[in-house]
Amino acid sequence: MPEDSAGQKTGSLACRVNSVLAAWAKPDSGAEVSVVTPHLLQELRAKGQWLRCRDLQQWESIKGIAAAPMVIKQEVKLDLRFDTINGGLTLKNLTCWVVSDGLPPGMGDILLSEGVMERLEYNAQALLDQARSVRDVYDMDEDVVPPGVRSVLAYAAATTIHPEPTPAEEELQPDEEQRCFPDIDVTQDREEARALEW
């Protein structure tokens, strides 16, 4: 089990890589390729592991991990083993692109692609069907958004530099906030409240 328990809070799964190293893998049904950090490969080599790496004949690039596209020069095959209530589950010969730097905080050491999730029979519609079997309404207003990185794609947006507002924009900001998030008296008529809100 990896020492850092933060992975559990972000949906990452504890796994064992090549039977020798504990790590975190993050399933991402929106990722087109699986990726691994160079740090994890260094740790595997430090344990005497011979890695099945291959230099790409043509360099590739991926977007969404950092503000700028990352150039991928190498790929590696890894074996990942997960513990489940039904016993161990092994993903053999998982091809991962080696990113040039680490993944954003909370993303773990390995990102599992959409293709991997499909092989494991992840199905968004089945997930909704299962949720509906529990109840028919989920109030999402209850959810608290955790601080930090939301997803790989959100990370790219979060790292974009936003220009400072001009003095004129700062003056308009309170009016804009009031228009988008008006103060509503809970005792007033519902129709009036709805009109103010929208």
pLDDT score of 125: 86
Residues 10-16, mean pLDDT to the nearest whole number: 87
- End-to-end CA, the chain: 49
Residues 114-142, mean pLDDT to the nearest whole number: 88
Tell me which fold the domain 6-123 belongs to.
Cathepsin D, subunit A; domain 1 (2.40.70)
Residues 9-25, mean pLDDT to the nearest whole number: 89
List the one residue out of 89, 80, 77 whose CA is nearest residue 20. 80
- Tell me 161's DSSP state: P
State what percent of residues in the chain have pLDDT above 70. 65
Handedness of CA 59, 63, 69, 72 (dihedral sign): negative
pLDDT score of 69: 77
Each residue's pLDDT tens digit, 41-63: 999 999 999 999 999 888 888 87
Query: Could you tell me where in the chain the CATH 2.40.70.10 domains are found?
Result: 6-123
pLDDT score of 22: 96
Cβ(28)–Cβ(152) below 8 Å: yes
pLDDT score of 190: 56
List the one residue out of 37, 38, 43 whose CA is nearest residue 22. 43
pLDDT score of 154: 38
Amino acid at 67: A
Distances (CA, A) of 26 to 23, 103, 141: 10, 10, 25
List the one residue out of 7, 6, 13 whose CA is nearest residue 120. 13
pTM: 0.63
Is the per-residue pLDDT at 83 higher than 60? yes
